[in-house]
Structure 1
Amino acid sequence: KSTQGELLGFKTIITPSKEKVKTHIKKVGEVIDKHNCTPQEALIKQLNPIIRGWSNYYSTVVSKETYSECDNIIYSQLKRWGERRHPMKSKTWVARKYWHTHGGNHWTFSTRSDKEGGMKLYRHAETPIVRHVKVKGNKSPFDGDLTYWASRMGKHPEVSTRVATLLKKQKGKCAHCGLTFRDGDLMEVDHIIPKGKGGKDTYSNLQLLHRHCHDDKTARDGSLNCARVKARISEKPCDAKVARTVLKTSQRGDSLT
């Protein structure tokens, strides 16, 4: 904006520099060349940390097109890698051996398909772009607003790790009503699939709700009824042994009467 607050008609776009992209591609190519005679699985283990780390570093800027270009270049490098390993085989044979279907993508460099549990190469384009959100001008880490900072950072010394993680995952909003949590709101962790119905205690099955939203959800999903049924179950008494009179013999051997 100008000094008068008018839009100037352009915006700043930050992308990975060409030099950094060239350096990254060169490093990947060197790793591929060094593993010319190693199994495909060993090559994937070496490449995945490099690709994932570089992609995560640039995940906050405009990188989607750059990611696609890098994937295309690495595909060409891997294609040459496969053809050098099998000079007497056709290109179709090489493609069928080293590329399989994963999640609808038929050209995934992997040992086997996803249905067979094969190891696959991580693609740059799989990294989600998450824009950096500026801190509000009136916020401070020392202002006591635990909800805001826990949802922003995913951690806070005065908030449990589980609650802070769910706050960041849900972007500070209740999963039931969709409203933003405010400082002082009563929050409770809920199992999406109740544990009484086989739900697991994992983050994929957890959500953070307002207390009143939690009560409403519990009444609707039937987990309250499951708890009541369990409370009614009581143990059956064991069959007690009937006490019997034991006749002891005297020292002389005759029975006592």
Structure 2
Amino acid sequence: KSTEQGFKTLIKPSSKSIKAHYRKLADICDQNKNAPTKALIARLNPMIRGWANYYSTVVSKEIFKEMDNRLWKRLWRWANRRHPNKSKTWVREKYFPNVKETRNWILNDGEYILNQHSDVPIIRHIKVKGNKSPYDGDWTYWSSRIGKHPGMRKEVTTLLKRQKNKCATCGVNFRPKDLIEVDHIIPGSKGGNDTYKNKQLLDRHCHDFKTAKDLKTVNH
């Protein structure tokens, strides 16, 4: 991009990344053809949030809108194929009902609402200041860098370093204010042990979803 001072490099998500992300979203739709709406949303939301957050510091606004549009078309086909004998109006009212304080035509069941890539704000990257310190309050950053931090449990800092400060499910970078929870990959009810190999850090949303899935499996 040309500017008055010369040229400015604009960094955008690569075509490869865009295609791979959409393919993952499409696969989730295909794998959940008969699943309840909230189950599909629970699978899609972490993927959408993670990818959008990752590219929120580059030039992504138009790409986010394009991705939302492509996914909407996919979901519209998903909904119509479930009810081939129903009218388009019926399908819209069932799967894309108007919800107060949200935009129209967004997949929801009245309780669970699909995240939108374009809802993630674009935040330009700010260079880290030279006076950064392990005591500056950014415990997730320093834990992931050196595997320890004053006042934090060794278990958490070790897992943060191993996971490179990212949620094991959605891949989103943890922030100091996030609700981070230790999860047993194989639940104790299924014979899972309490070793580090069987533990991972998840954000609250991903942990709730995995726990519900684990309980459902146990009860069947």
TM-score band, normalised by shorter chain: 0.5 to 0.7
Q: Is 1:109 equivalent to 2:107 in the alignment? A: yes
Larger of the two Rg values belongs to structure: 1
Q: 2:22 aligns with which of 8, 20, 25?
A: 25
Equivalences for residues 124-203 of structure 1 within 5 A: 124-136=117-129, 139-141=130-132, 149-150=136-137
Aligned to 1:4: none
One-letter amino acid of the structure 2 residue matched with residue 43 of structure 1: L
Letter aligned with residue 7 of structure 2: F
User: How far, CA to CA, are the matches of 2:142 and 2:46 in structure 1?
Assistant: 25
Pair 1:64-2:55 in alignment: no
Q: Where does residue 233 of structure 1 map in the other structure?
A: none
Q: Deviations over 1:21-79 (max 9, x none)?
A: 01111111111011111111111111111111111111111111111000000000000
Instruction: State the AA in 2 paired with 1:11.
Output: K
CA distance in 2, matches of 1:135, 1:41: 39
In structure 2, what is the equivalent of residue 54 of structure 1? 51
Question: 5+ unaligned residues in a row in structure 1: which ranges?
Answer: 1-6, 113-117, 160-164, 167-257
C-alpha deviation, 1:101, in angstroms: 2.6
Q: 1:158 to 1:131 in 2, by over 3 A?
A: farther
Q: Which position in structure 2 is the counterpart of 1:198? A: none
In the alignment, residue 59 of structure 1 is paired with which amino acid?
S
CA deviation profile, 1:147-174 (whole Å, cap 9, x unmatched):
xx548x8989689xxxxx69xxxxxxxx
Alpha-carbon distance in structure 1 between the residues aligned to 2:84 and 2:125: 48
Describe the SS at the equivalent of 2:53.
helix
- Alpha carbons of 1:119 and 1:104: their partners in 2 closer, same or farther (altered >3 Å)? closer
Task: Please give the alpha-carbon distance, in whole angstroms, between the structure 1 residues aligned to 2:54 and 2:5.
Answer: 30
The CA deviation at 1:9 is 2.6
* Alpha-carbon distance between aligned partners in 1 of 2:150 and 2:30, rounded to the nearest angstrom: 50
1:18: how far off? 1.1
Structure 2 CA distance, aligned partners of 1:22 and 1:64? 16
CA distance, structure 2, for counterparts of residue 24 and residue 134 of structure 1: 27
Report the residue type matching 1:27 in the other structure: K
The two structures have a TM-score, normalised by structure 2, of 0.58
Measure, in 2, the Cα distance between the counterparts of 1:125 and 1:110: 17
Structure 2 residue corresponding to 1:82, chosen from 46, 63, 79: 79
Calculate percent identity across the aligned residue pairs.
42
Judged with a 3 Å threshold, the aligned counterparts in structure 2 of structure 1 residues 104 and 49 are, in CA distance, closer, same or farther, namely: closer
**1: CA distance, partners of 2:50 / 2:21:** 11
The CA deviation string for residues 65-101 of structure 1, in whole angstroms up to 9 with x for no partner, is: 1110000000000000011000001111111110123
* 1:31–1:126 distance in 2 versus 1, CA, 3 Å: same
Q: Secondary structure in 1 aligned to 2:19?
A: helix
Which one of 80, 93, 100 corresponds to residue 96 of structure 1? 93
Q: Which residue pairs with 2:38 in the alignment?
A: 41
User: TM (normalized to structure 1)?
Assistant: 0.50
Q: Quick one: higher RCO (CA 8 Å, sep 6+), 1 or 2?
A: 2
Give the partner amino acid of 2:122: I
Shift of 1:128: 1.6
CA distance in 1, matches of 2:126, 2:41: 34
Give the deviation of 1:106 after TM superposition: 1.6
| Root-mean-square deviation over aligned CA pairs | 2.9
Task: State the secondary structure of the residue aligned to 2:104.
Answer: strand
Give the aligned length: 146
